[in-house]
């Protein structure tokens, strides 16, 4: 079912011959760390009953959302990964014989490919719940997600874009159509991009309410531009997957090397993209470096 917020992407009409989708958290803004450590982590521990192994939960949270191949994934995907997979295997949890609480109704909702993984989607699932137990569990999850949003609004402020982001947007302006492609709630995106006066460069700011990132790209750009005229910029494997699902090009912002990545994009990447020289060895070199920077398994499983 297509939502009203998705219709804007479907109806998006090109103004130029080139398209660039740009992720936000951790890509344009250095907000990943503070959001995960100060907003998501504490409330995950509080709402999901993880106080007895809080240190282990924090380690799992940071690995899943900052330092692994699920970096940047939707909050519900990584919450499920932490609670059902990473935390039960953590040495502290095993040593303390801590039984990690499980949330089968929530996990089933996350695993459903038709689920809209947002607060709006949770409300729809609550309305469609087939039992009081399912409804109660999903309502509890929604309360957690809303508390995280409140926390982000209160804490994450005055964080400017990485150096060379603004310069890159200015260099692209008028030559390409640009939209924000993110799994962050739209309200937070709008606030952050407007706060630093860079929303003016974007035709659309697409958050989690409009679907998954690959859907954003498909609706806004697929079959509207030549394939090598579509570029996704992101800092997470999910961004690359979204690009490749639409046969688009990908420019990675490597975690820990964000400033260097944006400077290279400004000095080299933009011109290669606009001149048709991006696809091939240049892109592959970047992707190989990006892929090597994020491991699949946590350090406690590799030891």
Report whether pLDDT(1) > 60. Answer: no
What is the reported pLDDT for 2?
60
Tokens 């949330």 found at: 103
1 or 184: whose pLDDT is higher?
184
How far is residue 262 from each of residues 81, 108, 176, 198, 249, measured CA to CA in Å?
Answer: 30, 38, 17, 15, 16
Domain range summary for the chain, segments of one domain joined by +: 4-31+160-293, 32-155
Report whether pLDDT(3) > 80. Answer: no
Record the pTM.
0.81
Pairing assessment for the beta strands 249-252 and 19-22 based on DSSP bridges: unpaired
CATH architecture of 4-31+160-293: 3-Layer(aba) Sandwich (3.40)
What does the angle CA 81 – CA 84 – CA 88 come to, to the nearest 5 degrees?
A: 110
Report phi then psi at 232, rounded to 5.
Answer: -110, 130
Angstrom distance (rounded) from CA 283 to CA 278: 6
Helix (H) or strand (E) holding 230: strand 230-234
- Over residues 156-176, mean pLDDT: 96
Tokens 């090397």 found at: 257
Helix (H) or strand (E) holding 250: strand 249-252
Indicate the SS3 state at residue 29.
strand
Beta carbons within 8 Å of 194's beta carbon, 6+ residues apart: none
What is the reported pLDDT for 210?
87
Helices 281-293/237-245 angle, 10° precision: 140
Mean pLDDT of all residues in the chain? 94
Tokens 């999901």 found at: 48
Based on C-alpha coordinates, what's the Rg of the chain? Answer: 19
pLDDT tens for 167-226 read 999 999 999 999 999 988 898 899 999 999 999 999 999 998 888 899 999 999 999 999
What is the reported pLDDT for 74?
87
pLDDT tens for 230-274 read 999 999 999 999 999 999 999 999 998 999 999 999 999 999 999
- Percent of the chain at pLDDT above 90? 86
Tokens 């935390």 found at: 87
Nearest to 141 by CA among 56, 80, 55: 80
DSSP 187-205: HHHHHHHHHTT-GGG-SEE
pLDDT tens for 29-53 read 999 999 999 999 999 999 999 999 9
Angstrom distance (rounded) from CA 190 to CA 253: 21
Angstrom distance (rounded) from CA 228 to CA 20: 11
């Amino acid at each position: 079912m297509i939502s009203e917020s998705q219709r804007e992407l479907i109806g998006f009409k090109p103004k130029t011959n080139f398209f660039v989708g740009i992720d936000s958290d951790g890509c344009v803004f250095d907000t990943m760390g503070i959001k995960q450590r100060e907003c998501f982590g504490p409330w995950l521990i509080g709402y999901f009953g993880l106080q007895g192994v809080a240190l282990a939960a924090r380690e799992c949270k940071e690995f899943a959302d900052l330092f692994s191949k699920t970096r940047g994934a939707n909050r519900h995907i990584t919450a499920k990964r932490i609670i059902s997979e990473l935390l039960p295997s953590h040495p502290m949890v095993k040593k303390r014989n801590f039984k990690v609480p499980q949330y089968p109704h929530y996990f089933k909702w996350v695993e459903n490919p038709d689920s809209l993984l947002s607060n709006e989607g949770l409300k729809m699932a609550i309305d469609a719940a087939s039992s009081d137990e399912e409804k109660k569990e999903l309502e509890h999850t929604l309360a957690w997600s809303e508390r995280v949003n409140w926390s982000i609004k209160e804490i994450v402020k005055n964080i400017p874009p990485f150096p060379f982001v603004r310069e890159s947007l200015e260099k692209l302006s008028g030559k390409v159509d640009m939209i924000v492609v993110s799994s962050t709630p739209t309200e937070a995106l709008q606030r952050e991009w407007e706060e630093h006066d860079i929303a003016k460069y974007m035709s659309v700011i697409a958050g989690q309410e409009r679907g998954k990132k690959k859907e954003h790209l498909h609706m806004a750009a697929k079959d509207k531009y030549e394939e090598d005229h579509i570029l996704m910029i992101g800092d997470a494997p999910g961004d690359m997957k979204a690009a490749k699902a639409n046969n688009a090009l990908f420019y990675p912002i490597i975690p820990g090397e964000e400033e260097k990545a944006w400077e290279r994009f400004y000095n080299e990447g933009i011109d290669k993209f606009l001149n048709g020289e991006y696809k091939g060895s240049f892109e592959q070199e970047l992707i190989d470096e990006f892929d090597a920077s994020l491991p699949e398994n946590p350090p406690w499983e590799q030891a």
